[in-house]
Amino acid sequence: MAEFVRVETGGRVATIRLDRPKMNALNGQMQEELGACARQVDADPDVDAVVIYGGERVFAAGVDIKEMAGMTYADMAAHSGELQACFTAVAKIGKPVVAAITGYALGGGCELALCADFRIAGEGARLGQPEISLGIIPGAGGTQRLPRLIGPARAKDLIFTGRHVDAAEALAIGLVDKVVLDADVYAQAVALAERFAGGPSLALRAAKLAVDHGLEVDLTTGLDIERLHFSALFATEDAHAGLRAFTEKTKPEFTGR
């Protein structure tokens, strides 16, 4: 059983729970467990949506700096691929993923939140990429996912200065999607995830793939990606159930087939 990251399920929503007191510093073991949990929920047919949650006080304060401090270039060259892989596993979960952000989401914690589809933050949350103050740069996707989300100029501001932003500014620049009372963060994230429970899981996966992959290519190629996913869904029982229900004015029952 994993020590610092676990999967908790309620209904058709799974929570990836970070639990390494006091600050959920993402050490090597935690990174491995995070990747394993991401792959677990992705493969589980009984899970329709996922919440990532660090607890009531903190989301994740970043990668474990004490663990990194003694690393050489050779050490990090070998480890950086594994570091990125665990975050990529989260980003590739083929289901809607909601980050429930309380307290600090800094460095690797911010990069983890960037891997989600939606981010709900508490009023007291603070986000940022402070790696520059250590003489390094983000290494778990921050230089790539952040500018894709908020634009290159705003991303450079956060990365070059290393400054933290509060929840209000994070909402204003599009870094988070909603700000709620700190005590309501997890409940709001679960409520959003539950909107997708019982939905057309194959179509949701296809939509996520089309959007995410389309952002990496030119428009013409992106339209080709969309067309292929769109056409492929007509081979599924869910698509026929949905179309039939529309014509018959009934509620569709999706089975994930």
64-97 confidence digits (pLDDT tens):
888 888 889 998 888 888 889 999 999 999 999 9
Q: What is the mean pLDDT of residues 126-149?
A: 96
pLDDT(177) > 80: yes
pLDDT(157) > 80: yes
Q: What is the mean pLDDT of residues 52-65?
A: 92
Q: Which helix H or strand E contains 179, and what residues bound it?
A: strand 178-180
Residue 256 backbone dihedrals phi, psi, to 5 degrees: 75, 20
Yes or no: say if 183 and 214 are a contact pair by the CB < 8 Å rule. Answer: no
Q: What's the pLDDT score for residue 140?
A: 94
- Tell me, what DSSP letter sits at residue 1? -
Q: What's the pLDDT score for residue 164?
A: 97
Q: What's the pLDDT score for residue 94?
A: 97
Amino acid at 18: L
Strands 178-180 and 118-122: parallel
State the maximum Cα–Cα separation within the chain, in Å, rounded to a whole number.
66
Q: What is the mean pLDDT of residues 220-242?
A: 95
Find, among 162, 133, 135, 134, the residue nearest to 146 by Cα. 162
Burial of 149 (0-12, 13-18, 19+ CB in 10 A): middle
pLDDT(207) > 80: yes
Strand, helix or coil for residue 178? strand
Please, what are the domains in the chain?
Answer: 5-194 (3.90.226.10), 201-248 (1.10.12)
10-48 confidence digits (pLDDT tens):
999 999 999 999 999 999 999 999 999 999 999 999 999
Q: What is the mean pLDDT of residues 192-201?
A: 95
Chain-centre distance of CA 31, in angstroms? 14
**Token representation of residue 100:** 């429930």
Q: What's the pLDDT score for residue 1?
A: 67
Listing DSSP states for 199-253 in one string gives: S-HHHHHHHHHHHHHHTTS-HHHHHHHHHHHHHHGGGSHHHHHHHHHHHHTS---
- Share above pLDDT 90 across residues of the chain, in percent, rounded to a whole number: 89
Yes or no: say if 127 and 110 are a contact pair by the CB < 8 Å rule. Answer: yes
Average pLDDT, the chain: 95
Residues 173, 178: Cα–Cα separation, whole Å: 12
Q: What is the mean pLDDT of residues 184-192?
A: 98
